[in-house]
Structure 1
Amino acid sequence: MMLLQTILAFAVVLGVLVIVHELGHYLVARWCGVKVLRFSVGMGKVIYSRRFGADQTEWAISILPLGGYVKMLDARDGDLDEVSPEDMKREFTRQSVWRRIAIVAAGPLANFLLAIFLFACLYSYGIPEPAPKLRAPAEKTIAYQAGLRGDEMVTAVNGEPIQVWNDLRWLIVQSVINKQPVTLDVEHATAGSSGKLLQTVTIPVDSISAEELEGDFLGKLGIDLARPPAILGQIVPDGPAMQAGLQQGDLIVSVNGMPIPDGLSLVELVRASPGKNLKIDLLRRGQPLSVNVTPEEATKDGQVFGRIKVEVPMAPDMVTAHNSPFAALVKATKKTWDTSVLTVKMVGKMIIGEVSWKNVTGPITIADYAGQTARIGWISYLSFIAFVSISLGVMNLLPIPVLDGGLLLYYSVEVLTGRPVSERFGAIAQRAGIGILMTLMLVAVFNDINRLIS
């Protein structure tokens, strides 16, 4: 069932992105007066088609599900002796270079517009996300050395106001890529006062490499989400917690003399102590109490850990950030631009060797993430589609022959020199482009398989 859901989620992502991309080419081609012969979802042999419109454009589904294309009336595709003089005026290569640039650029542009539309809808609707409230960092971490002590609410990163945890994470990612320190504006309640203390801290990110951005790089800096206090929830009957006398509502203060600031700390300590006696100091209805409990051993995926069979709340504070339609559109446009720039920088770092090619992902990983986000909920799924749409737009703009970016490079040379690139050079470059794309696809599939195995 899960596999079927993953396949369907991936099919929807792929279908939406291909259709939107090719619609960009199609609509601008029609706007520029170029005759469109076929609009295909998929590549290779056509397995289903219908003709519509005054031009009798063939709308087709082809056998290979990866990609799609728009076929226009083009003199490079063969003999056009039977084409009427009126239609010859609508042939692609007879259009001005600026019209050809517009038609080719419309595909990637459509992907960017789709991302902006999806982000704007999500920002207008309001996305429930963790609040940017910080957990107490360990003493030896960079965050602790910078002056953070926990329970601070981050209000801005590098001078840019934020509302949710993902905004904080995203801006720190950009700082790591740009190799710039992170400045956090934070506020926290002052003891014995209803006011809030404002503070600005600077955190160097030199210790984080671009390759670590897929992992817990925030944890390496000492930055983590604040969690609720260790107040026990439901107690499982006959478990170690019940046998020790623990009750629902108990506030755990310390374990073996070690302070427990939140529920996550308690869970981590218990999991690391299978079969060991733990002295727990707690408050029950405001009264101090001590009990001893021994976590039972449990095994999962070959890992042995301790558990006392009690519910411990660990969900962070959540906020729902609503934006007006205009503010949401502005925010969505900026998000799309920043993501595009970050993607280009990551590609550049791969080329010069600063980032591993292991970060290149292919259809297997995309399908896996599509299934995961679909299972989480429609908000995560739409966000995933927006990010993949941006990646598709950026990748199509790379100056590789056979991609839109390669064609745009040819037309840019034509603008500068006043004459088109020779057919011989174009044919050689196209073969080279196919070789590059095949190599990238092999690397991506290899990385996908390696991720599944590991």
Structure 2
Amino acid sequence: MLTVVAFVIALGLLIAVHEYGHYRVAVACGVKVECFGVCTLPLGSPDSASRFDRFLWWISKPVLRWKPRRQHPGQDTEFSIGLFPFGGYVSMLNEQVAPVAPEERHRAFNTKPLRQRAAIVAAGPLINLLLAVLLYSVVNWVGVQEPSPVLGQPVAGSLAAEAGLKGGERVTRAGFGGELSEVASFEDLRWRMTRGVIDGRDLTLEVTGPGTQGAQTLALPLGRLGASEADPQMFRRIGIWAPWTRPEIGEVMADGAGARAGLREGDRVLAIGETPAVDGPQLRELIRASVNGKEPRTQIWRIERDGQIVNLEVTPEARQEGDAWVGRIAAYVGSAPEMVTVRRGALDGLWHGVVRTWEVSVLTVRMLGKMLIGEASLKNISGPLTIADYAGKSASMGLTQYLIFLALISVSLGVLNLMPLPVLDGGHLMYYLWEGLTGKGVSDAWMDRLQRGGFAVLLIMMSIALYNDVTRLLG
């Protein structure tokens, strides 16, 4: 239930903000706005002979309509709210849509100067980006609890292992091209690694910790991976995928493999077979590797329990993840990581909100570009099911995590709407660019062709996103 509520609130809010951008700038430019709909679209007909048209009408019809008594001069806008958060619209007086009375012509959208029409169209995506700046700033001001940048033992054969990391090191600074800055948390470090992989740049780390005399500088050759490997397994290939935690057993699920073997909450795992357990992330890897093909592998675990050493024979359950089979014990593995509160002052928090919005926007554009030319996998496209899943998870983790999720989706909505597809705001801006360069608008024939092509591309993207969602949920 939390997932549904969080998803509806997230999309409803972002749609409302996007359409309000169009509405407010239209009013400021003297355009008459006839309808402002949130979570509803002017689709279908209740009297249509087509079942599909009647279905579209039913799911897009508003459940609440009203006209405010006090409106902006020259406005008589009807506001409406629908039940399903799949879209919104701002309907403006426009001679290209319906006849306009001569006395109202000066309020029609199509009669306005090019710069005003472009401003009205661009306002929706831009206000989504401004909302992201605000949300990131609020998170910076309130503060968020995140794991400290203390590294778990790197995955064997990974980039981190090759760079000489052993586990337990604290990352103090990191950067590209020799320009290092403070690393506030483990999530901050993950963000920088993501940027490095997509941009094809090596990341320099300054670390302190076990076995080091003062600060040590080393390089992570992220450029070797390439954007095509920016997928959920990327951090495992890098080798830095989880913060350091004690190799302890947390909550044990009843009737699971761990419970059947006699594991208890609070057990400290010293070794699995002949391999010592160094920390929580490495212990999880050892458990995942406890299979021979599709068959689980029984091993002797050495446990420290209440000051005594206990040996247990543990047989995990074999589960399939994608194309691989891994071991699972149905228990929480690893203690809670060391946490740090990341909080910033008023101006610093606002500036970091602007910087993070810019970085996420640039990263999104680059990723889309690399997917377009085949340098990145289309598996990175997510749809409504994945968004709903993350909405529920972030909401369950607290307000700040939910605000971060909203900011990320708001950036995505803003950037995607600026794409030069005819059915999106970016496509209309391309029309206006053509009009500005040639002095005449796009012909109706070309407009129809471009709209059809844009809709086809959008439909393909939506299909890929839905396929990826289902694959993730089932896999």
SS in 1 for 2:107: coil
Q: How many angstroms apart in 2 are the aligned matches of 1:181 and 1:345?
A: 17
Moved more, 201-210 or 127-136: 201-210
Match of 1:388 in 2: 409
Q: Is 1:104 paired with 2:121?
A: yes
Residue 59 (1) aligns with residue 79 (2):
yes
Amino acid at match of 2:357: T
Per-residue deviation at 1:17? 0.9
Q: Distance in 2 between matches of 1:451 and 1:243?
A: 29
Distance 1:366 1:298, change over 3 A: closer
**Shift, 1:299, TM fit:** 7.2
- Aligned-pair CA distance for 1:50: 1.6
Q: 2:167, 2:244 within 8 Å by CA — same for their partners in 1?
A: no
Between the aligned partners of 1:276 and 1:150, the Cα distance in structure 2 is 27
Letter in 1 for 2:279: D
TM-score (norm 1): 0.84
Distance 1:262 1:57, change over 3 A: same
Larger deviation, residues 67-76 vs 362-371: 362-371
CA distance in 2, matches of 1:28, 1:35: 11
1:418 paired residue number: 439
Alpha-carbon displacement from aligned partner over 1:21-57 (angstroms, at most 9, x marks no partner)? 0000111111112111111122125434222225221
Bigger CA drift: 53-62 or 341-350? 53-62
Change (3 A) 1:108 1:257: same
2:197 equivalent to 1:205: no
Once the two structures are TM-superposed, the CA of residue 310 in structure 1 deviates from its matched residue by: 9.4
Contact 2:152/2:281 (<8 A) preserved: no
Measure how far apart 1:353 and its partner are.
Answer: 1.3
* TM-score normalised by L of structure 2: 0.81
Question: What is the CA distance between 1:100 and its match in structure 2?
Answer: 1.2
For the residues of structure 2 that align with 1:233 and 1:365, how far apart are their CA atoms? 28
Q: Tell me: CA distance 1:236–1:37, structure 2 relative to 1, closer, same or farther (3 Å).
A: closer
TM-fit CA distance, 1:438: 2.4
Instruction: Sort the Cα spacing of 1:96 and 1:358 in 2 relative to 1 into closer, same or farther, 3 A.
Output: same
Compared with structure 1, are the counterparts of its residues 370 and 304 closer, same or farther at alpha carbon in structure 2 (3 Å cutoff)? closer
Which amino acid in 2 is paired with 1:221?
Answer: I
Residue aligning to 1:172: 193
Q: 2: distance between equivalents of 1:243 and 1:440?
A: 46
Residue 74 of structure 1 aligns with which residue? Answer: 94
Amino acid at match of 1:22: E
Distance apart, 1:146 and its partner CA: 1.6
Aligned partner of 2:33 in structure 1 is 36
Question: Partners in 2 of 1:135 and 1:212 — Cα distance?
Answer: 22
Deviation at 1:167, TM superposition (A): 1.1
Could you tell me how far apart the structure 2 residues matched to 1:162 and 1:217 are? 20
Decide which of 143, 146, 155 is 1:129's aligned counterpart: 146
* 8 Å contact from structure 1 (residues 132, 168) kept in 2: yes
The question of 1:143 aligning with 2:165 is answered: no
Name the CA distance, whole Å, in 1 between partners of 2:451 and 2:257.
68
Which amino acid in structure 2 is aligned with residue 78 of structure 1?
A: A
TM-superposed CA distance for 1:227, in Å, is: 2.7
- Take 1:351 and 1:244, find their aligned partners in 2: how far apart are those partners? 50
Match of 1:329 among 347, 350, 359: 350
- Quote how far apart the aligned CAs of 1:263 are: 4.1
* 2:239 paired with 1:219: no
* Structure 2 counterpart of 1:16, one-letter code: L
The structure-2 alpha-carbon separation of the partners of 1:441 and 1:265, relative to structure 1 and needing over 3 Å to count, comes to closer
CA RMSD in angstroms comes to: 3.5
| Letter of the 1:74 counterpart | N
Q: Does 1:184 align with 2:205?
A: yes
Deviation string, structure 1 residues 304-353 (Cα, Å, up to 9, x no partner): 9586x998652211111110121111111111111111111111111111
- Secondary structure in structure 2 of the residue aligned to 1:294: strand
Q: Which of the residues 1, 5, 8 maps onto 1:8? A: 5
The correspondence for 2:302, drawn from 280, 292, 303, is 280
The answer to whether structure 1 residue 292 and structure 2 residue 311 are counterparts is: yes
Cα displacement string for residues 219-250 of structure 1 (whole angstroms, at most 9, x for unaligned residues): 2122243433446789999x999999999988
Does the aligned pair in 2 maintain the 1:251–1:284 contact within 8 Å? no
Is the contact made by 2:257 and 2:314 (CA closer than 8 Å) also made in structure 1?
yes
1:231-280: per-residue Cα shift (whole Å, max 9, x none)? 6789999x999999999988655555533322454565467397856373
CA positional deviation for 1:418: 2.9
| Structure-2 separation of matches of 1:186 and 1:316 | 18
| Shift in CA distance, 88/364, structure 1 to aligned 2, threshold 3 Å | same
Match of 2:462 in 1: 441
Please state how far the C-alpha of 1:354 moved relative to its aligned partner. 1.5
Output one character per residue of 1:280-305: Cα deviation in whole Å (capped at 9) or x when no partner.
386986xxx75433236667789895
- Paired residues of 2:34 and 2:78 also in contact (CA < 8 A): yes
Separation in 2, partners of 1:241, 1:400? 52
Whole-angstrom distance in 2 between the partners of 1:70 and 1:101: 15
Local SS of the residue matching 2:13: helix
Q: Which residue of 1 aligns with 2:46?
A: none
Contact 2:136 2:404 in 1 (8 A): yes
Q: 1:376 to 1:357 in 2, by over 3 A?
A: same
Q: Is the 8 A contact 1:244 1:291 kept in 2?
A: no
User: Secondary structure in 1 aligned to 2:35?
Assistant: strand
Task: For residue 212 of structure 1, report the CA deviation from its aligned partner.
Answer: 3.2
8 Å CA contact 1:225–1:316 kept in 2: the answer is no
Aligned to 2:66: 50
